[in-house]
Chains A and B, each alone.
Chain A
């Protein structure tokens, strides 16, 4: 229906020049506004609770203090107004925290290695990725748990490159065959060679982070280009409770200076490095995070800092730090609420991991629990996807499964669009009052909409029993194994230029 031409009233000489149907109701009724789709969001903490935890964190920094083992950072803190006692025990006044929260950027843009902005860390944007140094991995061929090697870092990176819902790569390996002084550099190089997605990396000290940085500049085409479009984020952590080692601070300071995005999540695990009650564990972890943030902003005001601690639990029977517990999902959901109420900085989180030793129902249950809650909380950068055995073993099958679990969660949080098309009244009329044989399956409306209207699983199996048996009666682990193998053999990673690859080796070998 063409809209009536409404003439400019100012150009009219008389009322009678208006088109006859100018005042006709049909054309002049405003179209109803589209009903916005509500997208489920999980809230676990009130503003009051968040403020109390934040205040407790400030009190820890001001009254208890922390151990700063980096002399340069110690001096900076003292000059900025901190009280220093016993050589290296620092007490930090709250105003320094407030200032650094203000100067830290409220958004961090991460790019892929080809300069595309693929991970804008801001608001409710959420991105999933793998985890770092796993000592073991599940062998893709034998299913056996074995030590990781460099080739595993390569394979995990390639798999991430080929999975549409996994946005960044971490090493997933503590490679046994890499020279130990440069283990993190070698792991980083494997990632660079096997994916173009953004990378989250770890390092040991100022020495090897400089090497990794050199490689990154090479890939980006220069220091300036890397700063403008960073494709990497460093993961460093203080030691709970309240200890800031020298080599850790070297990395934090390096990142602040070079404006490399960094996160600083100490493992303030309830009952381990932190009190067993979750509020206290959060307060301690946040205090340690804020302590790092203050130094970070003093060194590089405005440098990007991804906020948040890792608050899991120390299991009270096995003394492992749990990667499948509901507590970690709960504390990071609480942190997300605190981000929205207080901090305004993008946050770090975890998901898609398990304490199970094999990829069984426990692995699936625990992975899904953390994946969906992280998304419901809108955590921004969500790592550790694909971990088994409380982070000690990496699994290609788990990463492959998680890709689908993320998609399933995403479908859920996108909500239910309600509009003329989706209410489908015309289709209902057609099918209900149509002749015999009239079914929705045959209707145009279904044909046009089914691919967007439904979640279409690939690995989660819904086939009829007999077809399932005929196809080999395979369980999910087996199906994910086959899919991971397929991706690794078929997926093409856009390769880096030869000169870049040669230079990477040169830097690693120290030539």
Chain B
């Protein structure tokens, strides 16, 4: 862990230039790519996530750290072989059909990425069919749906039904969120989990997949 302490610190501080330089340094020194990611980047983001949950840092600072990690990942990408890097899990996320709101969803995406998940973001107004099609392509561990309007919430059970019909419902965990969504509603429509905000979403995702 101490091998990448400086790298972690630059990620925590959100200093993109220094972080990229440190990443390059680690590569030049011959360090293991997986180790750089796990012990340098994800470890830093775990600390950021914890500080954030405790209310010690603000969202823009947390997002800056996440962006810093993304920039470091760009440097590492050419060195990553297909299937080499173990991520915490794959998440497919979108705002449901008829709904165009995305701030919350974008926050969840960024926090999930920062926590080490691989996120595929479908954007807004995503039909059940689109969710299914992409899920079949990407094979996510988690399908996450967001809605801000109560009138668009019905698209959530519709999407779950579509996953069922496609025979892949039991291959994924479904997580839902958004202002009018409640944990009671999640139980009603037989989603696997509900999260009230971006921070909780990461916690719930880790719970669902049994990771830490």
A, B from the same assembly = yes
List B64-115 residues whose CB lies under 8 Å from chain A: 98, 100-101, 103-104, 107
Q: In the docked arrangement, what's the CA distance between A318 and B59, Å?
A: 8
A273 touching B103, Cβ below 8 Å: yes
List A309-324 residues whose CB lies under 8 Å from chain B: 314, 316-319
- Tell whether A183 pairs with B179 under 8 Å between CB atoms, given A243-B100, A317-B58: no
Question: Which of B55, B100, B150 interacts with A180 by CB under 8 Å?
Answer: B150
**B104 contacts which chain A residues (CB < 8 A)?**
319
Q: In the docked arrangement, what's the CA distance between A204 and B197, Å?
A: 25
Please count how many residues in chain B sit with their CB below 8 Å of the partner chain's CB atoms.
Answer: 21
Minimum C-beta distance from B91 to chain A (A): 19
**A239 contacts which chain B residues (CB < 8 A)?**
100-101
- Tell whether A180 pairs with B151 under 8 Å between CB atoms, given A314-B103, A316-B60: yes
Q: In the docked arrangement, what's the CA distance between A316 and B61, Å?
A: 9
Question: Which of B101, B150, B184 interacts with A183 by CB under 8 Å?
Answer: B150
**Which B residue's beta carbon lies closest to that of A391?**
B179
**Which B residue's beta carbon lies closest to that of A184?**
B151
**B107 contacts which chain A residues (CB < 8 A)?**
319
Question: Which of B59, B98, B154, B180 interacts with A135 by CB under 8 Å?
Answer: B180
Q: In the docked arrangement, what's the CA distance between A133 and B59, Å?
A: 27
**B58 contacts which chain A residues (CB < 8 A)?**
316-317
Most chain A CB neighbours (cut-off 10 Å) among B107, B149, B179: B179
- Interface: B153 (CB within 8 A): yes
**B60 contacts which chain A residues (CB < 8 A)?**
271, 316
SS of A interface (majority): loop
- Tell whether A181 pairs with B179 under 8 Å between CB atoms, given A243-B100, A316-B60, A319-B59: no
List A250-309 residues whose CB lies under 8 Å from chain B: 271-273
How does the 8 Å CB contact mask read for A175-189 relative to B, with 1 for contact and 0 for none? 000001101000000
**Which A residue's beta carbon lies closest to that of B184?**
A147
- Tell whether A135 pairs with B150 under 8 Å between CB atoms, given A316-B60, A319-B107: yes
Q: In the docked arrangement, what's the CA distance between A16 and B15, Å?
A: 101
- Interface: B145 (CB within 8 A): no
Minimum C-beta distance from B98 to chain A (A): 8
A204 touching B151, Cβ below 8 Å: yes
A133 touching B150, Cβ below 8 Å: yes
Q: In the docked arrangement, what's the CA distance between A243 and B59, Å?
A: 24
Q: In the docked arrangement, what's the CA distance between A439 and B100, Å?
A: 68
Interface pairs (10), CB distance under 8 Å: A133-B150, A147-B182, A180-B151, A204-B149, A245-B100, A272-B103, A316-B59, A318-B197, A319-B104, A319-B198
**Interface positions of A (Cβ within 8 A of B):** 133, 135, 147, 174, 180-181, 183, 204, 239, 243, 245, 247, 271-273, 314, 316-319, 392
